[in-house]
Amino acid sequence: MKIWSSSRWKKPAQGALLASTFVLGGCVTVPYADDVRDVRSTLGSRWAPELPVPALTGEAPRGEDVDTVVKELLSQPLTADAAVRIALLNNRDLRAAMHELGIATGNVVQASLPPIPEVGLEVTKPAGSTKVQTGLGLEYNLSDLILLPQRRGVALAERASEQARTASEVLGLAYRTRLAFYEVQARRQQLELRNLALRNAQARYGTAVELEKVGNLRALDLATERSAVEAARLAVAEADNALQDAREDLNVELGLFGADTQWTVDALLADPSDALSKQEGLEARAIEVSLDLSELRGRMEAADRRNQLARTEGFLPTLSGGVHGEREDDRWEMGASLRVGVPLFDRKRGERIATLSSRESLKARYEATATAIRASLRQARFRVESTASRAMHVRDVLLPATRKALEETVLQYNAMQLGVFDLLRAQDNVTNAASTYVDTLLEHHRARAALEQLLAGRHQGVELAPTRISSAASGSAPAADAH
């Protein structure tokens, strides 16, 4: 594991700080644009190159422009990339996270300010005297001034940690948006297939009605076909509900409500590709770029610095110094003073125990997280490969096999060896194979998003659905010999 150095985090943060200190001066504004820029630079190389980050510019909070861009994106059928773009522009949780980073920025600014000098004015009139004596004093807390660089160091480390966490939230949003988008695509395709299955059941029932009408079919068979139609209708309603759920999940990520939720999706789930999972050294890469680990490292650094601060405070006497002037008889008398508080009883031992423990706890958590990241990566990688090969098996073998079976059933139907019901059942098997393809493809895209997410640096919230184990006989009993 790479030994972490804090230097790489200091630079951008310090830059921001400088900007804040000098530019803001006396009037305070929220340093949103700078925080966004910092997050962007944190994401930097971690950000998978094909993912867009235009939303994360300083212009992001300017409502009007954002709305125009979002509306423009929503006016066309959504793609996964467009959805991510909208989410980055429009998701209020992300904006909240950015403002949370502002809190840390504020803390840095605050910690960088030198202590305030205390000015004292004394006006006395000794008894019996008509003259008024004026005294002027200036007191300055020297300890705070000496400790300022260390306090600022703590605040900087904390901000670095926050910055990593915020960057990770950007990734998290992009990830959740992708998942929600794939879910919408899959549910839309499944709804179409369930509608096809319903039409199939209706065709069987319609045929049964015609045959029963002229006395060629038992009431039993008619009732059986009828029940199949009603079951298929229910499946359509369920699929429709699932699509609505998926749309709403995506709306949450996109930060949309009202008329803006009328977006459409017309792209089908893309074909599988396991090219990414085939690359070498993925585990090491995931560890290297992990923002989860960066955040923990920032917090470890902050704990270290807090510990150092406490140590310094523990032995540094409380120092304050001042100058004092008194005007007497139109003449100023000047003097200086130094006050030393000796830390005899409070040597900050408790605080040092706390910060050290916090440091050790974070270290253990760091190692546990690294282990979990490696395991997740291997799991995601295997899932990407497995779902790719499964999806291709469905697409290139199973689906053509069911189509071939349908063709052969047509021939057997023409030869009067099989009936129209067998024919429609063979057609239904094609639909079911297509359904399996969509399911497998969704699982694949979910796994790929998870893998990309891990390689972009976020482990938190990455989830793979439990593996499905379908029964081999799913609904495709061979219709070869009817006897």
Task: Name every residue whose Cβ is closer than 8 Å to that of residue 153 and which is 6 or more positions away in sequence.
Answer: 305, 308, 309
Report the helix count and the strand count for the chain, using DSSP H and E: 12, 4
* Cβ-defined contacts of 375-382 (< 8 Å, 24+): 376/450, 376/454, 376/459, 376/462, 377/282, 377/283, 377/286, 377/451, 377/454, 377/455, 378/283, 379/464, 380/277, 380/447, 380/450, 380/451, 380/454, 380/462, 380/464, 381/277, 381/282, 381/451, 382/277
Binding flag, residue 379, another protein (CB under 8 A): no
Contact range with another protein by CB under 8 A, out of 88-96, 243-251, 338-346, 421-429? 421-429
Q: How many CB atoms lie within 10 A of CB 7?
A: 7
Binding flag, residue 435, another protein (CB under 8 A): no
DSSP conformation class of 394:
I
**Pick from 42, 294, 355, 412: which binds another protein (CB under 8 A)?**
412
Contact range with another protein by CB under 8 A, out of 26-34, 55-63, 419-427, 446-454? 419-427
Size of the site for another protein (CB under 8 A): 35
Taking the complex as a whole, the smallest distance from the CB of residue 391 to another protein amounts, in Å, to 25
CA–CA separation, 204 vs 225, rounded Å? Answer: 7
Binding flag, residue 408, another protein (CB under 8 A): yes
Q: Which amino acid is at 32?
A: Y
Binding flag, residue 216, another protein (CB under 8 A): yes
Question: Contact letters (x/-) for another protein, 159-198, by CB under 8 A?
Answer: -------------------------------------x--
DSSP conformation class of 395:
I
Taking the complex as a whole, the smallest distance from the CB of residue 223 to another protein amounts, in Å, to 15
**Pick from 14, 41, 207, 273: which binds another protein (CB under 8 A)?**
207
**Pick from 421, 434, 443, 462: which binds another protein (CB under 8 A)?**
421
Binding flag, residue 481, another protein (CB under 8 A): yes
Between the two ends of the chain, the Cα-to-Cα distance in Å is 68
Taking the complex as a whole, the smallest distance from the CB of residue 481 to another protein amounts, in Å, to 7
Binding flag, residue 223, another protein (CB under 8 A): no
Residues found near another protein in the complex (CB under 8 A): 196, 199-200, 202-203, 206-207, 210-211, 213-217, 406, 408, 410-424, 427, 481-483
